[in-house]
Structure 1
Amino acid sequence: MPAASTRLYIGPVNWAGQGYQWARAVRRFGNDADAVNMAYRVGTEYGFPADYVVPVGVYSWSREWQERQAAYVHENFTHVLVEAERILFAGAFRGSLPAEVRELGRRGIGVAMLCHGSDIRLPSRHAARHADSPFRDGLWDLTPTLEKQARRNLALLESLGRPVFVSTPDLLVDVPGATWLPVVIEPDAWSTDQLPFQAHGLPVVAHAPSRAAVKGSDLVDPILQQLDDEGLLRYRRVERVAASDMPEVYRSSDIVLDQFRIGSYGVAACEAMAAGRVVVSHVSDDVRRHVLEATGETLPIVEATGANIEEVLRGIIADPAPYRRRAGDGPRFVTSVHNGLLSARALDAFLSEPGGGPGAGRGGE
Structure 2
Amino acid sequence: MTSAGTLLAAASDWIADHPTSLPGRIAALRQGVPRGAMPPIVQAPASPATVLAAPANYAGQAHAWCRALERADSEVAARNYALPSPFGFDADAVVPPAFFHNSRRWQRAQLTAARGFTHFLSESFIPPFGRLDGRDLERQLDALDGVDVAHLCHGTDVRRPSLSRQRTPWAPFEEDHTTRRLETVAMRNLAVLERSGRPVFVSTPDLLSDVPRAHWCPVVVDPAQWALPRERRGSPLRVVHAPSKSAMKGTRHIDPVLTRLRDAGAIEYRALSGVAHDRMPGLLAEADVVIDQIGLGSYGVAACEAMAAGCAVLGHITAEVRETVRQQTGRELPVVEVDPETLEETLVALAEDPQLVEAAARNGATFVREVHDGRRSADVLLRTWIRAGEGSRRA
Which bin holds the TM-score, normalised by the shorter protein? over 0.9
Of the candidates 69, 86, 94, which is equivalent to residue 45 of structure 1? 86
Gapped runs of 5+ residues in structure 2? 1-43
Q: Which amino acid aligns with 1:148?
A: T
Matched, 1:122 2:156: no
Matched, 1:205 2:243: no
Q: Partner residue of 2:149?
A: 111
- Tell me the distance in 1 between the aligned counterparts of 2:331 and 2:262: 34
Q: Partner residue of 2:75?
A: 32
Residues 127 and 136 in structure 1, CA contact (< 8 A), matched pair in contact too? no
How much does 1:144 deviate? 2.1
SS in 2 for 1:114: strand
Q: Partner residue of 1:136?
A: 174
- Tell me the distance in 2 between the aligned counterparts of 1:342 and 1:135: 32
Instruction: After superposing the two structures, state which structure 1 stretch, 123-132 or 89-98, moved more.
Output: 89-98
1:335 to 1:3, Cα distance in 2 relative to 1, 3 A: farther
- Tell me the distance in 2 between the aligned counterparts of 1:166 and 1:358: 20
Q: Note the alpha carbon deviations across 1:137-181, whole angstroms, 9 max, x for none.
A: 55xx63222111111111111111111000000000100000000
Q: Partner residue of 1:66?
A: 107
How much does 1:265 deviate? 0.3
Matched, 1:172 2:212: no
Matched, 1:97 2:132: no
Q: Partner residue of 2:355?
A: 321
- Tell me the distance in 2 between the aligned counterparts of 1:238 and 1:188: 22
Q: Note the alpha carbon deviations across 1:88-112, whole angstroms, 9 max, x for none.
A: 11233332221122222xx321000
- Tell me the distance in 2 between the aligned counterparts of 1:251 and 1:164: 36
Instruction: After superposing the two structures, state which structure 1 stretch, 90-99 or 263-272, moved more.
Output: 90-99
Residues 146 and 394 in structure 2, CA contact (< 8 A), matched pair in contact too? no
Q: Note the alpha carbon deviations across 1:294-348, whole angstroms, 9 max, x for none.
A: 1111111110011110011111112221331121112211111001000000001
How much does 1:281 deviate? 0.6
- Choose between structure 1 and 2 for higher RCO, CA contacts under 8 A separated by at least 6 residues: 1
- Tell me the distance in 1 between the aligned counterparts of 2:136 and 2:168: 34
- Tell me the distance in 2 between the aligned counterparts of 1:155 and 1:216: 29
- Tell me the distance in 2 between the aligned counterparts of 1:30 and 1:122: 35
Q: Which amino acid aligns with 2:312?
A: V
Of the candidates 9, 13, 16, which is equivalent to residue 59 of structure 2? 16
Q: Which amino acid aligns with 1:162?
A: R
- Tell me the distance in 1 between the aligned counterparts of 2:271 and 2:222: 24
Q: Partner residue of 1:157?
A: 193
Residues 282 and 304 in structure 1, CA contact (< 8 A), matched pair in contact too? yes
Residues 258 and 279 in structure 1, CA contact (< 8 A), matched pair in contact too? yes
- Tell me the distance in 2 between the aligned counterparts of 1:177 and 1:86: 21
Gapped runs of 5+ residues in structure 1? none
Q: Which amino acid aligns with 2:341?
A: A
- Tell me the distance in 1 between the aligned counterparts of 2:394 and 2:147: 15
Residues 25 and 344 in structure 1, CA contact (< 8 A), matched pair in contact too? yes
Matched, 1:79 2:119: yes
Residues 161 and 360 in structure 1, CA contact (< 8 A), matched pair in contact too? no
- Tell me the distance in 2 between the aligned counterparts of 1:210 and 1:150: 21
- Tell me the distance in 2 between the aligned counterparts of 1:283 and 1:4: 41
Give the percent of matched residue pairs that are identical in Structure 1 and Structure 2: 41
SS in 2 for 1:234: strand
SS in 1 for 2:135: coil
SS in 2 for 1:47: coil
TM-score when normalising by structure 2 = 0.86
Residues 269 and 279 in structure 1, CA contact (< 8 A), matched pair in contact too? yes
Of the candidates 345, 364, 367, which is equivalent to residue 333 of structure 1? 367
Q: Which amino acid aligns with 1:274?
A: A
Residues 84 and 115 in structure 1, CA contact (< 8 A), matched pair in contact too? yes
Q: Note the alpha carbon deviations across 1:226-246, whole angstroms, 9 max, x for none.
A: 100111011101111000011
User: After the TM superposition, which residues 198-277 of structure 1 pair with which residues of structure 2 at under 5 Å, given as runs?
Assistant: 198-277=232-311
How much does 1:192 deviate? 3.0
Q: Which amino acid aligns with 2:228?
A: T
TM-score when normalising by structure 1 = 0.92
Residues 196 and 394 in structure 2, CA contact (< 8 A), matched pair in contact too? no
Matched, 1:189 2:225: yes
Of the candidates 96, 117, 142, which is equivalent to residue 55 of structure 1? 96
> How many residues matched?
351
